Amino acid sequence: MKSEDRARAGFAEFVRAESAASTRFAYLLTADRHHAEDLLQVALARVAIRWERLDDPGAYLRRVLYTQAASWWRWRRARPPEQLDGFVPDRSAGPGDDADLRMVLRAALARLTVRQRAVLVLRYYEDRSEAETAELLGCRIGTVKSQTRHALGRLRTLAPELAELVGRAPQEVAR
């Protein structure tokens, strides 16, 4: 088998193996399914171009997803802000209603900066260490710590009803 064919087969296997996790990561960064799919396609194209030179394609893919989401967020920020489609959580729902909590969590995450969302997703959804998160985002561990603190504080302000999620696995709520 030619090296080009092996590279294509390796990339195809990588896409199959990483597709679900990468799609979730992109969605959690963007809070929009269609934008997440577009973002993932751009990121995969960049990985494909550099495939044979990458030591850790998964880390590179997440880094591209993050930087592209941040670029898109900066571009959107220059435009007039959009409303959250009039979303107001139903405060009368019982504390055990996971669907309502997921909606509140998604709406609150959508109001964080891209870096704050990325830090929370990597730390709590993907269960990565501070060092791994810093490496994936290309920043220092101190930045990860401060962004985590700021993001959690902002979530507490935006959605105080999420306080009951403390102690539950983030994967249970985000799905």
Model pLDDT for residues 16-38, shown as the tens digit of each residue: 998 888 988 888 888 788 888 88
What is the CATH number assigned to the segment(s) 98-174? Answer: 1.10.10.10
**Confidence (pLDDT) at 126:** 82
Would you say the pTM of this structure is higher than 0.85? Answer: no
Q: Considering only the top CATH level, what class is 3-77?
A: mainly alpha
High-pLDDT (> 70) share of the chain, %: 76
SS (H, E, C) the chain: CCHHHHHHHHHHHHHHHHHHHHHHHHHHHHCCHHHHHHHHHHHHHHHHHHHHHCCCHHHHHHHHHHHHHHHHHHHHHCCCCCCCCCCCCCCCCCCCCHHHHHHHHHHHHHCCCHHHHHHHHHHHHCCCCHHHHHHHHCCCHHHHHHHHHHHHHHHHHHCHHHHHHCCCCHHHHHC
The pLDDT tens digits for 157-166 are 888 877 665 4
The domain spans of the chain are 3-77, 98-174
